[in-house]
Amino acid sequence: DAGVIQSPRHEVTEMGQEVTLRCKPISGHNSLFWYRQTMMRGLELLIYFNNNVPIDDSGMPEDRFSAKMPNASFSTLKIQPSEPRDSAVYFCASTQDSGYMNTGELFFGEGSRLTVL
Amino acid sequence: RKEVEQDPGPFNVPEGATVAFNCTYSNSASQSFFWYRQDCRKEPKLLMSVYSSGNEDGRFTAQLNRASQYISLLIRDSKLSDSATYLCVVKVLRSSASKIIFGSGTRLSIRP
């Protein structure tokens, strides 16, 4: 079975450029999460979707960041304009959210390593 | 204050030793708890869930203390392959969907 698929795996861009990261969750999963990981701040939750609807975007750093989930099989995270401090590994993860049940295994993609010069 | 806090380490212990990590969480509405493992330059992966009564999976034992709002992970007879970052994870139930929050991780290095 295919896991969570992210693209690109690596991106190097210059400050001010637009960056679009893509994610395909595992088929049948109803929740999708975008995380950012840096050495200094660890793994930070940026935004998550449930049934394609954004539930909590309080972790999105600022207006330069936006995320969409137009359908159950695709999501994007966009940074415009990008800045050097956005350099990080961006992970997408999905799960089948069963609410009260003690489940919650998140399946992560391999991450998109972004470097903004 | 972070919602989930861990000692970043690193913990550097000899092979065969027993090592334990703690993690504290601040949201009393936290409902489910997990330990994830992350190898260098890889994605996090589920190690084990943490149940109220405590649970064991081979050399790994997880415990939950709801009153004090902390969870722990104990690794017995540590192996070189246990070297990784261990992430404490808390699931907070919301009215619409659950929020899954990661701690910053505890780095473990096992030496021969």
Instruction: Specify whether the CB–CB gap between B39 and B46 falls below 8 A.
Output: no
Q: Is there a contact between B44 and A106 if contact means CB atoms under 8 Å apart?
A: yes
For A21-80, the pLDDT digits (tens) are 999 999 999 999 999 999 888 889 999 998 999 988 988 988 999 999 999 999 999 999
Q: DSSP state, B3?
A: S
Residues belonging to chain A: 117
B85-104 residues touching A, CB cutoff 8 A: 87, 89, 91, 93-94, 96-104
The pair of three-digit structure tokens given for residue B6, joined into one six-digit string: 């861990």
**B43 vs A100: CB contact, 8 Å cut-off?**
no
pLDDT of A7 higher than 50: yes
Query: Can you point out the beta strands (E) in B1-112?
Result: 4-6, 11-14, 19-25, 30-38, 45-50, 55-57, 60-65, 70-75, 84-92, 99-102, 106-111
Residue A103 pLDDT level (bands cut at 50, 70, 90): low
Residue B105 has pLDDT above 90, yes or no: yes
Average confidence (pLDDT) over B46-74 = 93
What digits encode the pLDDT tens for the residues B8-37?
889 999 999 999 999 999 988 888 899 999
Residue B99 forms beta bridges with which residues?
Answer: B92
